[in-house]
Structure 1
């Protein structure tokens, strides 16, 4: 069970599961499962690499799996919200996008406001929880460490690390997912596809 290969396979299974769930929220997203998997994998790898190379955690299941669970879970929620907002905005702002296309803009400049709004929407829960950290609700990890006998200052350091870790992961995952997904709202002739 302490094998790095087992840990890696477990992480890939967790990421795949999260991608499947995120994809359920974005049924109108073309290749949603692949995009979700790539986005969550990228966000998780970048964040975990920083934590591992900085020495904050070791690549052992008892350390990597709980931290990865928080990372992957937050990415999944962020992607679900981003997909929902992306689809809603393409439906709502179809005329605006088509006007930009008619005036000669390419698909990315025509969609940039929609993409940015979707990324922002995906990050709202993480940003809100970071803003009210320790004021509105005591975070679970910090409380657990304190109850487990860890010094409060150490527990707070870990919670700050976790907060920045979650912010970076949701930002990376939402960014990648939205920039990969927006193309699915256009056909090969650069026309906005009809959304029911």
Structure 2
């Protein structure tokens, strides 16, 4: 059982945020407002989530769990789409499809095939795992999508030259697709490379603080990291291919005019 944290202790932790505020003010970073709003927003969101999850845990029914998962996915897709400077009409839909498909697939595999949670919709497992997978996939999707749109713009001459010489749209854009998917995967791979040596991941630390045996906490973390890596790779690939389908049409034309 972990030690309880009181409201005064939360307030003390929140005071640490003023270190960042002071640095922003002293160095004129222009981040003071963003720091305060982000801190307040995070606190309110997590407190509300704590109340909602307490209610969901007590229901023992799949529909609230699926409903929360869908809402989380919609918000994740919106966040991923909002991080890109360039936009096209189906951007939000493509982000949602990539995040929903990869996150739900890998979360389901983790719950049913690996951890073997019974029932599969047990919110104690399903919601936290899905949340971790969504957050990680969101980052991969946003990075890979932004990189792909940038690659198309900066490499426009090269891609159109290949198309003019008779290359298919896949042959012309393959290098842009590859480097974009790689970009989306790098953060998770970097995290995996130093985990246990430089950093102790949040899930493992939380379980240990809650009284779980370190060996079992480590196994859970290993499972989750493999799930996160795969979901990030799939999400990055899917969103890039969906963008590729829109911005390089079936007539082998580069359609940067569709970008806003």
Same fold (TM over 0.5): yes
Indicate the residue corresponding to 1:9 in structure 2: 67
2:173, 2:245 → 1: CA distance? 9
2: distance between equivalents of 1:142 and 1:29?
A: 39
Distance 2:180 2:97 in 1: 17
1: CA distance between counterparts of 2:232 and 2:131?
A: 13
* Bigger Rg, structure 1 or 2: 2
**What is the CA distance between 1:3 and its match in structure 2?**
1.6
Residue 157 of structure 1 and its aligned partner are, at CA, apart by 0.3
Deviations, residues 39-81 of structure 1 (Å, cap 9, x unaligned): 1111112212211222513421121111100000111111111
* Aligned residues: CA RMSD: 1.6
What corresponds to 2:185 in structure 1? 123
1: CA distance between counterparts of 2:249 and 2:75? 29
Match of residue 91, structure 1, among 153, 170, 188: 153
What are the ranges of 5 or more consecutive residues in structure 1 without an aligned counterpart?
A: none
User: Where does the alignment leave 5 or more consecutive residues of structure 2 unmatched?
Assistant: 1-55
Partner residue, 1:77: 139
TM-score for the superposition, normalised by structure 2: 0.71
Q: Give me the whole-angstrom Cα distance separating, in 2, the residues matched to 1:55 and 1:70.
A: 16
The alignment covers a number of residue pairs equal to 196
Q: Distance in 1 between matches of 2:103 and 2:228?
A: 10
The equivalences for 1:147-186 within 5 A come to 147-186=209-248
CA spacing shift, 1:41–1:161, aligned 2, 3 Å: same
Number of the residue aligned with 2:106: 47
Look up the match of 1:141.
203
